């Protein structure tokens, strides 16, 4: 695992190539982070997408870039295995150094990556119980920036749908994934820049929006290696280096760009899920079917106490609520809403149950949150294929801290997540085989709505 992460390091030659086309501001060699163009985060241009819809199994649409990223800059971590990377995902300096030193002192034969050490640190610190989230995060060594984002009053209801350690782990994993994702985009941009300069006859087919050319450009090399000679500069276009579908984990052979989400087909319902784009690396099979293991939720959710499960909602407003929360925590990550159209006939054939707010809901959810098996009275809910019902939030108390004797009296309607006064619901697919079956029958009816980063940290407007 560690070797794979080291391979994502942005090389000196790639940095130089990106400097030449204006994507990276010139800086000292060997620095762990650099100032880069916000275009690194921008959606792909229509010119750079040449997808044929005949072989497509997925449709995708992109939100308009309201932040004007292409005319901004931000600080990019170029070495994912560094103290800077640890600070970048949300640790304070002292804790970053401690984790880094542990990683440096590891057994040379250890397969654990830097991220493994990060998650191990959080697990170790989470063993100490605390009723005060700020104290707990300070003990974990999280930066003030991350603490403020996680405890934002705007998102307190959705924050309380999971434990503090869950959101800390999820946020750190996704932020680290975003670092790797952006580095991957940068490497792809550098390679495209070389290819464009090596084929000057193709310049006429590119966009007319030109970048300001540098005074000199290194000669084209295959692959990117140290330049040996200097060639005359060629005009660089936006298309030559802008992001492509592949840079968003959307294989061009399987994805068709559409202006907006397709309408619901007759006899079908849509199920939605918000997810960070950095979590969706290789999320499609060779046949273009979604892989269940890329969208799975670990045990301890509302309806899956002792096993993994797959959560969806029929309410776009609920999915948007989770997407806004993800954007707030992950300022450099694009966030998706995946929608799957499933036939009502197929759903009717499944063994399913509804579990809304009630005494059985209280007891089943409280046991699941504590990763315990349900009581005998509620065991039937754990045996179905799809369990639907209200989403639980611990606005007043953490559900896991409620004594059994107080479950009936404490878990009242305030523990049901709401959006503008309406109860939010979820649909939980309880086993992987059933999730795989659903993706198979929904082939060709999956849509990805991609929202680019809205407010990256250290974002600066570029003066012209």
Sign for the CA dihedral angle at 323, 324, 328, 333 comes to positive
For residue 190, the SS3 value is: helix
pLDDT over 60 (residue 298): yes
The mean pLDDT of the chain is: 86
Give the total residue count for the chain: 464
Instruction: Look at residue 204 in the predicted model and tell me its pLDDT.
Output: 36
Report the distance separating Cα 271 and Cα 342, nearest Å: 7
Which strands sit side by side in the sheet containing 33-37, from one edge to the other?
A: 33-37, 72-77, 460-461
Number of compact structural domains in the chain? 2
Q: pTM of the predicted model, to two decimals?
A: 0.88
Same-domain pairing of 230 and 364: no
Strand ranges in 87-175 using DSSP code E only, listed in sequence order = none
Convert the pLDDT of each residue in 233-269 to its tens digit: 333 344 456 789 999 999 989 999 999 999 999 999 9
User: Is the pLDDT higher at 126 or at 93?
Assistant: 93
Which two three-digit tokens encode residue 163?
A: 């434990």
Instruction: Look at residue 404 in the predicted model and tell me its pLDDT.
Output: 92
Location of structure tokens 């804790």 = 95
Instruction: Look at residue 173 in the predicted model and tell me its pLDDT.
Output: 98
Q: Are 230 and 216 in contact (CB under 8 A)?
A: yes
Same-domain pairing of 279 and 153: no
Among the residue ranges 213-217, 358-362, 368-372, the one predicted with the least confidence is: 213-217
Tell me which residue range forms the domain holding 424.
Answer: 255-451
Q: Minimal CA–CA distance to 275: which of 264, 291, 289? A: 291
Count the Cβ atoms, other than its own, within 10 Å of residue 122.
Answer: 17
Residue 213 within a domain: yes
Count the Cβ atoms, other than its own, within 10 Å of residue 4.
Answer: 9
Convert the pLDDT of each residue in 385-425 to its tens digit: 999 999 999 866 788 889 999 999 999 999 999 999 999 99
Share of the chain above pLDDT 90, in %: 66
For residue 191, the SS3 value is: helix
Domain boundary among 213, 248, 283: 248
Residue 458 within a domain: no
Query: Per-residue confidence at 299, pLDDT binned at 50, 70, 90?
Result: very high
In angstroms, the first-to-last Cα distance of the chain is 42
Domain boundary among 230, 248, 266: 248
Convert the pLDDT of each residue in 125-137 to its tens digit: 988 767 789 999 9
Domain boundary among 223, 248, 273: 248
Residue 11 within a domain: yes
Same-domain pairing of 178 and 244: yes
pLDDT over 80 (residue 314): yes
Among the residue ranges 10-24, 50-64, 105-119, 131-145, the one predicted with the least confidence is: 50-64
Same-domain pairing of 122 and 214: yes
Phi, psi of 216 (to 5 degrees): -150, 155
Residue 215 within a domain: yes
H or E segment to which residue 261 belongs: none
Which two three-digit tokens encode residue 248?
A: 């968003």
Beta carbons within 8 Å of 178's beta carbon, 6+ residues apart: 276, 278, 330, 332, 333
Q: Are 47 and 247 in contact (CB under 8 A)?
A: no
Region 431-442 average pLDDT = 96
pLDDT over 80 (residue 208): no
pLDDT over 60 (residue 5): no
Query: Per-residue confidence at 54, pLDDT binned at 50, 70, 90?
Result: low
H or E segment to which residue 270 belongs: strand 268-276
Q: Are 308 and 296 in contact (CB under 8 A)?
A: yes
Sign for the CA dihedral angle at 179, 182, 188, 194 comes to negative
Region 7-34 average pLDDT = 82
For residue 317, the SS3 value is: helix
Instruction: Look at residue 25 in the predicted model and tell me its pLDDT.
Output: 87
Q: Are 266 and 332 in contact (CB under 8 A)?
A: no
Report the distance separating Cα 321 and Cα 337, nearest Å: 11
Instruction: Look at residue 239 in the predicted model and tell me its pLDDT.
Output: 43
pLDDT over 60 (residue 10): yes
Instruction: Look at residue 396 in the predicted model and tell me its pLDDT.
Output: 61
Instruction: Look at residue 308 in the predicted model and tell me its pLDDT.
Output: 97
Same-domain pairing of 115 and 186: yes
Same-domain pairing of 137 and 269: no
pLDDT over 60 (residue 32): yes
Q: Which whole-number Å values give the CA distances from 117 to 173, 276, 290, in the listed order?
A: 11, 22, 29
Report the distance separating Cα 370 and Cα 372, nearest Å: 5
pLDDT over 60 (residue 217): no
pLDDT over 90 (residue 45): no
Q: Are 332 and 175 in contact (CB under 8 A)?
A: yes
For residue 350, the SS3 value is: coil
Query: Per-residue confidence at 218, pLDDT binned at 50, 70, 90?
Result: very low
């Amino acid at each position: 695992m560690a070797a794979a992460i080291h391979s994502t390091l942005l090389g000196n030659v790639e940095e130089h190539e990106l400097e030449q086309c204006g994507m990276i501001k010139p800086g000292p060699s060997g620095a762990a982070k650099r100032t880069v163009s916000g275009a690194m985060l921008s959606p792909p241009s229509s010119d750079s997408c040449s997808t044929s819809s005949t072989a497509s199994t997925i449709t995708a649409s992109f939100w308009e870039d309201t932040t004007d990223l292409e005319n901004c800059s931000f600080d990019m971590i170029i070495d994912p295995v560094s103290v800077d990377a640890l600070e970048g995902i949300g640790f304070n300096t002292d804790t970053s150094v401690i984790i880094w030193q542990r990683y440096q002192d590891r057994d040379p034969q250890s397969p654990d990556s830097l991220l493994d050490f990060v998650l191990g640190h959080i697990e170790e610190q989470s063993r100490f119980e605390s009723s005060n989230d700020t104290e707990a995060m300070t003990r974990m060594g999280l930066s003030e920036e991350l603490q403020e984002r996680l405890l934002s009053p705007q998102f307190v209801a959705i924050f309380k749908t999971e434990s503090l350690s869950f959101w800390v782990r999820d946020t750190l994993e996704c932020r680290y994934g975003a670092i790797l994702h952006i580095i991957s985009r940068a490497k792809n941009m550098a390679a495209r820049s070389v290819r464009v300069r090596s084929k000057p006859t193709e310049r006429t087919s590119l966009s007319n929006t030109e970048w300001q050319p540098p005074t000199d450009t290194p000669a084209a090399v295959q692959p990117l290696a140290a330049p040996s000679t200097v060639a005359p500069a060629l005009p660089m276009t936006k298309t030559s280096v802008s992001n492509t579908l592949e840079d968003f984990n959307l294989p061009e052979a399987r994805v068709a760009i559409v202006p907006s989400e397709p309408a619901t087909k007759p006899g079908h319902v849509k199920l939605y899920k918000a997810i960070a784009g950095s979590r969706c690396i290789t999320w499609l099979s060779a046949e273009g079917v979604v892989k269940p293991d890329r969208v799975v939720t670990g045990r301890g959710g509302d309806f899956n106490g002792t096993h993994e499960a797959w959560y969806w909602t029929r309410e776009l407003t609920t999915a948007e609520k989770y997407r806004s929360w993800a954007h707030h925590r992950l300022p450099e990550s694009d966030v998706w809403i995946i929608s799957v159209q499933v036939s009502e006939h197929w759903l009717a054939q499944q063994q399913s149950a509804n579990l809304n707010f009630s005494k059985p809901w209280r007891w089943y959810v409280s046991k699941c949150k504590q990763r315990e098996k349900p009581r005998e009275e509620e065991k039937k809910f754990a045996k179905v294929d799809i369990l639907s019902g209200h989403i639980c939030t611990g606005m007043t108390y953490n559900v896991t801290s409620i004594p059994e004797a107080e479950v009936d009296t404490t878990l009242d309607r305030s523990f049901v997540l709401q959006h503008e006064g309406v109860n939010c619901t979820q649909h939980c697919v309880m086993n992987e085989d059933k999730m795989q079956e659903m993706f198979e029958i929904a082939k060709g009816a999956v849509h990805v709505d991609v929202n680019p980063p809205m407010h990256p940290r250290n974002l600066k407007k570029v003066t012209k």
